[in-house]
Amino acid sequence: MRAAHITHEGSPEDAIEVVDVETPAPGPGEIRIRVEACALNHLDVFARIGHPEEDDEFPKRTGGDVAGVVDAVGEGVDADLAGDEVILYGGVTCGECEYCERGEQTMCHDYRIVGEDLPGGLAEYVVVPADTVDPKPDSLDWVTAAALPATFTTAYRMIQTVGDLRPAESALILGASGGVGNAALQLANLVGATTYATTSTDEKARRLEPLVEAVIDYTAEPFDERVMELTDGRGVDLVADHVGQETWQRSIDSLAMGGRMVICGATSGPDPDVDIRSIYQHHRRILGAPMGNRSDFRDVLSLAARGTVEPTVDRVLPLADVAEGHRVIEDREVFGKVVVKPGE
């Protein structure tokens, strides 16, 4: 089968190679999926450029957002699964610890991610544990299905499960033109909250303007100061921040008294300079909300199946053009998701 491998740290064109490798066979408790579509995330980019929590073993096969058809099953797996159209929930857990028993899969100390800790779906086939997939709703095409899991499940965790955003509240969504940011904006609007968004170009702002109270170009002005102007000095009830150290203090300073900052990532780095008085003196809270649990994932599938939310897809690429997908994500040239179709 064909697969996209990251062979070393470096630029997309130098470090990514499409190779022919042996098609994997499912082991006990596993299934093999013929990958119809696989979305890219920042995790894919981090695997190539280097990340403090990543090892330096190569080659790496990333791709955690997978939609496809079960084409083979391993020992102990119901043979009737063969032929099913499925979407992958990319978290693999022990299934036995106190956190797994509570349904909080991402808290499991043995939590692993397909495409990061296990070979991912940027290939014609991928093998995964049988209990990590759910049926693909008939109303979703392959590209839409692949664009959902990581971004919308994370955003759902931020806005709904952990953020507990309410209709009468307000929210600032950072990087609202990216995958997680755009998903968070849709979910915040679904709640009925007043929303504000940051982005970096006039074109992205133009596309966001119909969806929010106001768009802030963070390259042109300090977004915390602008938020305070827009809210008459009050601030917002919730900030959804997946950027990290570049934005942390401004995100905190954008909050109202008693507001909460919900965080799911650190794409700009993990070590912010923070004035802790700006937190406790204003009764503010900082809440961690990485990839949601299985219940969050299934709620997202239900919303998408009904057409209540829909991932924004920037472009669809063949496997041979994975490097281009990396480049546009790294250079922030996308509005929404980049999806790869390994069979093309």
Q: Is 235 left (phi over 0), alpha (psi -120 to 50) or beta?
A: left
pLDDT in tens, 172-189: 999 999 999 999 999 999
Average pLDDT along the chain: 96
Say if residue 214's pLDDT is above 90.
yes
Q: What fold is seen in the domain 2-148+311-341?
A: Quinone Oxidoreductase; Chain A, domain 1 (3.90.180)
Q: Is the pLDDT of residue 50 over 90?
A: no
Are the C-beta atoms of 67 and 36 separated by less than 8 Å? Answer: yes
| Domain range list for the chain | 2-148+311-341, 152-288
The pLDDT > 70 percentage for the chain reads 99
Question: Given a cut of 70, is residue 2 above it in pLDDT?
Answer: yes
Helices 149-156 and 179-191, packing angle to 10 deg: 40
Looking at residue 338, what is its pLDDT? 98
| 46 torsion bin: left (phi>0), alpha (psi -120 to 50), beta (else) | alpha
Judge whether residue 302 has pLDDT over 60: yes
Q: Is the pLDDT of residue 53 over 60?
A: no
Question: Does 55 have pLDDT greater than 70?
Answer: no
Place domain 152-288 in its CATH homologous superfamily.
Answer: NAD(P)-binding Rossmann-like Domain (3.40.50.720)
Q: What mean pLDDT is predicted for residues 239-244?
A: 95
pLDDT band for position 57 (50/70/90)?
A: confident
pLDDT of 52 > 60? The answer is: no
> Given phi > 0 = left and psi -120 to 50 = alpha, else beta, which region is 36?
alpha
Residue 45 near residue 325 (C-beta atoms within 8 A): no
Residue 77 has pLDDT above 60, yes or no: yes
pTM more than 0.75 = yes
